[in-house]
Homo-oligomer: A and B are copies of this chain.
Amino acid sequence: MSLIVQKFGGSSVKDAEHVFNVAGIITDTYKAGNQVIVVVSAQGDTTDDLIAKAKEINPSPSKREMDMLLSTGEQISISLLAMAIEKLGFPVVSLTGWQVGMHTDSNYSAARIRKIEQERVQKELDKKNIVIVAGFQGINRYDDITTLGRGGSDTSAVALAAALHADLCEIYTDVDGVYTTDPRIVPNASKLEEITFDEMLELASLGANVLHNRSVEMGKKYNVNICVRSSLTKAPGTIVKEVVDMEKMLVRGVAKDSDVARISICGIADTPGKAFKIFSLLAKKNINVDIILQSIGRDNMKDISFTTPEDRLEEALQILEENKAVLDYQSLDYTKDVSKVSIVGAGMVSNPGVAAKMFEALYEAQINIHMIATSEIKVSVLIDAGCETKAVRAIHDKFELG
């Protein structure tokens, strides 16, 4: 008997038919003699609908009340999924974030999990119940409801798997695994059987849209075996784990991310501490900064450019403008018309020429590169928005990943 955590996203439970499909997967796993904990997101467009309802009343509601509102989405789906499983004749119980004891910090709308109580879930498992848990939500020390932000349900699932020492954490999505690149763009993209946490981390944070990076970080930290698979096929999926057979493939995948905005802070005095000030101000507001590029100082002036998610652009600009005096720069420049394309592979670091090959592919496709960032296992470039599909295809072909 294994303990398996299964996570289903909003599109997997978007209507009654899909709910029963998911209920079938869960009860098959249970029938095979396993203990099953299920984490589920809000149905289809529920979250968007709730946000629209809120914005009609208050364009900038407090995050506490927003979390109070949004957490109802998962509560609706856990109860409906439990009712479907009841209909199929299996013992089941649904639990909200607070009932599970999913304790988080108080950072409403982007809370981090601090601790998960095991008592209630364990008690329900001991009673032979299938346990359906609301993803994406928790409670803080004041007993107020928090949500975990984007990718929160994946994180809930992996965290539960870690806390209850599950044998496997299956993340069901609408794709059947992790591919060398998005198969909708490059039809001959190939599915990876296995991938390391580190590689997955780079792919996830680069917009591969399969697993959220927070969940992969959690998986890596607690060494949870994660399997990414489709709720619509029986295909085996991709296993994410600590070490995989490296084979000969240098580049594991090509990812694109169109949700990128670039900000340039121009004419900063070339004195120590500027970058620290800028990025700590942004960090305080939980604005993720990705590629950072600093020009070489000239005439005691330098420019710092960086990228953020598009929906944080305005907030980031506001922070920078409010602190213009402190940061002492001349002007701000920004654009949303950029995309990021990246290659990822744990073998890259020991193989020179990988980045050059990527740049060659882009040159051959006549795509201009605005920014470059590299790590041990990835190379990212910022290019004009609209070119990213062409870029992904060119790079995928160049590395013969098909």
Residue numbers of A with Cβ under 8 A of B are 16, 19-20, 50, 53-54, 56-58, 61-62, 64-66, 68-69, 71-72, 75-76, 78-80, 82-84, 86-87, 93-94, 96, 98-99, 120, 143-145
How far is the CB of A66 from the nearest CB of chain B, in Å? 7
Residue of A20, A69, A99 ringed by the most chain B CB atoms within 10 A: A69
Complex alpha-carbon distance, A369 and B23, angstroms: 53
Q: Are A57 and B84 neighbours in the complex by a CB distance under 8 Å?
A: yes
Q: Known contacts A76-B72, A83-B54, A83-B57; is A99 also within 8 Å of B144 by CB?
A: yes
> Taking CB as reference atom, which chain B residue is nearest A43?
B53
Chain B contacts for A80, CB-based, 8 A: 53-54, 57, 69
A-B contacts besides A58-B87, A65-B86, 13 pairs, CB < 8 Å: A19-B57, A54-B80, A57-B80, A65-B82, A65-B83, A68-B75, A68-B78, A68-B96, A69-B79, A71-B75, A72-B76, A96-B145, A99-B143
Chain B contacts for A16, CB-based, 8 A: 56-57
Chain B contacts for A79, CB-based, 8 A: 54, 65-66, 68-69
The one of B50, B71, B75, B86 that contacts A61, using a Cβ cutoff of 8 Å: B86
Q: Are A50 and B76 neighbours in the complex by a CB distance under 8 Å?
A: yes
Complex alpha-carbon distance, A64 and B85, angstroms: 14
Complex alpha-carbon distance, A72 and B46, angstroms: 12
How far is the CB of A120 from the nearest CB of chain B, in Å? 7
Q: Are B98 and A86 neighbours in the complex by a CB distance under 8 Å?
A: no
Complex alpha-carbon distance, A57 and B43, angstroms: 14
Complex alpha-carbon distance, A79 and B147, angstroms: 14
> Can you list 27 residue pairs at the A/B interface with Cβ under 8 Å?
A16-B56, A19-B57, A20-B57, A50-B76, A53-B76, A53-B80, A54-B79, A54-B80, A54-B83, A58-B86, A58-B87, A61-B82, A61-B83, A61-B86, A62-B82, A65-B94, A66-B79, A66-B83, A69-B75, A69-B83, A71-B75, A72-B75, A72-B76, A75-B75, A96-B145, A99-B143, A99-B144
> Taking CB as reference atom, which chain B residue is nearest A76?
B72
How far is the CB of A134 from the nearest CB of chain B, in Å? 10
The one of B58, B68, B96 that contacts A94, using a Cβ cutoff of 8 Å: B68
How far is the CB of A196 from the nearest CB of chain B, in Å? 39
Complex alpha-carbon distance, A65 and B93, angstroms: 8
Chain B contacts for A144, CB-based, 8 A: 99
How far is the CB of A85 from the nearest CB of chain B, in Å? 9
Chain B contacts for A93, CB-based, 8 A: 64
Chain B contacts for A75, CB-based, 8 A: 68-69, 71-72, 75
CB-based closest 4 A-B pairs:
A69-B79, A72-B72, A61-B83, A58-B83
Chain B contacts for A96, CB-based, 8 A: 68, 145
How far is the CB of A19 from the nearest CB of chain B, in Å? 6
Chain B contacts for A61, CB-based, 8 A: 82-83, 86-87
How far is the CB of A267 from the nearest CB of chain B, in Å? 39
Residue of A20, A65, A96 ringed by the most chain B CB atoms within 10 A: A65
Chain B contacts for A87, CB-based, 8 A: 57-58, 61
Q: Are B82 and A68 neighbours in the complex by a CB distance under 8 Å?
A: yes
Complex alpha-carbon distance, A120 and B142, angstroms: 9
> Taking CB as reference atom, which chain B residue is nearest A92?
B65
Complex alpha-carbon distance, A401 and B31, angstroms: 68
